[in-house]
Amino acid sequence: MMLAYLLARGGARVTLLESHGDFNRRFRGDSVAPAVLDYLDTLGLAEEMLTTLPHTVVSTFGWHTSEREYTLADYRWASRRFPFYALIPQARFLPFMTGKAAAFPGFELRMRSRACRLLHDDDGRVQGVAYARGDGERRLRARLVVGTDGRNSKLRVLGGFRARELGAGLDVLWHAVPKRQGDPAVSGLQLHSTAGALLAVLDQDTDWQLGYMIPAGSYRHVREAGAAPITEAFTRRLPWLADRLGTLTAVNQMTLLPVRITSVDRWYRPGLLLLGDAAHVISPVGGNGINLAIADAAAAANLVLPHLTGAPARLDAACARVEQVRRPLTDKEQRRQHRAERSARGRLERGLTGPPPVLRAITRIPGLPALNGRQNSALIRIPRPCAQIMGTT
Ligand SMILES: Cc1cc2nc3c(=O)[nH]c(=O)nc-3n(C[C@H](O)[C@H](O)[C@H](O)COP(=O)(O)OP(=O)(O)OC[C@H]3O[C@@H](n4cnc5c(N)ncnc54)[C@H](O)[C@@H]3O)c2cc1C
Burial class (CB in 10 A: 0-12, 13-18, 19+), 123: exposed
In whole angstroms, give the CA distance from residue 216 to residue 169: 5
Q: Which residues of 249-270 are buried (b: 16+ CB within 10 A; e: fewer)?
A: eebeebebbebbbbbbeebbbb
Distance (angstroms) between ligand 1 centre and the Cα of 28 equals 7
What is the number of alpha carbons within 13 Å of residue 147 lying toward its C-beta? 31
Pocket mutation for ligand 1, best pick of 27, 28, 118 (most atoms within 8 Å of C-beta) = 28
Pocket mutation for ligand 1, best pick of 23, 281, 285, 290 (most atoms within 8 Å of C-beta) = 290
What is the number of alpha carbons within 13 Å of residue 51 lying toward its C-beta? 6
CA end-to-end distance (rounded Å), the chain = 23
Distance (angstroms) between ligand 1 centre and the Cα of 334 equals 17
Residue with CA nearest ligand 1 atom 28: 150
Instruction: Please say if the pLDDT value at position 108 is more than 80.
Output: yes
Residue type, 268: Y
Q: What is the DSSP track for 232-299?
A: HHHHHH-GGGHHHHTT--SGGGSEEE----EEES-SEETTEEE-GGGT----STTS-HHHHHHHHHHH
Q: Which residues of 64-92 are buried (b: 16+ CB within 10 A; e: fewer)?
A: bbeeeebbbbbbeebbeebbbbbbbbbeb
Model pLDDT, residue 66: 83
Residues 30-41 have pLDDT tens digits of: 899 999 999 999
Residue with CA nearest ligand 1 atom 19: 289
Residue with CA nearest ligand 1 atom 6: 29
Q: Are strands 107-110 and 56-58 parallel, antiparallel or unpaired?
A: unpaired
Residues 275-312 have pLDDT tens digits of: 999 999 998 887 889 999 999 999 999 999 999 998 99
pTM score: 0.94
CB 289 within 8 A of CB 282: yes
Distance (angstroms) between ligand 1 centre and the Cα of 183 equals 30
Cα–Cα distances (Å) from 89 to 27, 172, 249, 375, in that order, read: 8, 18, 26, 24
In whole angstroms, give the CA distance from residue 284 to residue 277: 12
> What is the arithmetic mean of pLDDT over 357-367?
84
Q: Are strands 14-17 and 107-110 parallel, antiparallel or unpaired?
A: parallel
Full set of structural domains in the chain with CATH? 2-166+260-384 (3.50.50.60)
Which residues form the pocket of ligand 1, taking CB atoms under 6 Å from any ligand atom?
17-20, 27-29, 114-115, 148-150, 154, 257, 276-278, 284, 287-290, 293
Residue with CA nearest ligand 1 atom 38: 149
Residue with CA nearest ligand 1 atom 30: 150
Instruction: Please say if the pLDDT value at position 186 is more than 80.
Output: no
Between 307 and 350, residue with greater pLDDT: 307
In whole angstroms, give the CA distance from residue 310 to residue 312: 6
> What is the arithmetic mean of pLDDT over 323-343?
91
For the chain, give the mean pLDDT. Answer: 93
> What is the arithmetic mean of pLDDT over 154-182?
94
Model pLDDT, residue 190: 87
Give CA torsion, residues 267, 154, 219, 167, to 10 deg.
-20
Distance (angstroms) between ligand 1 centre and the Cα of 293 equals 9
Model pLDDT, residue 337: 87
Instruction: Please say if the pLDDT value at position 393 is more than 70.
Output: no
State the CB neighbour count (10 A cutoff) for residue 371.
Answer: 14
Residues near 185 by beta carbon (within 8 Å), at least 6 away in sequence: none
Residues 51-93 have pLDDT tens digits of: 999 999 999 988 888 888 888 899 999 999 999 999 999 999 9
Model pLDDT, residue 48: 98
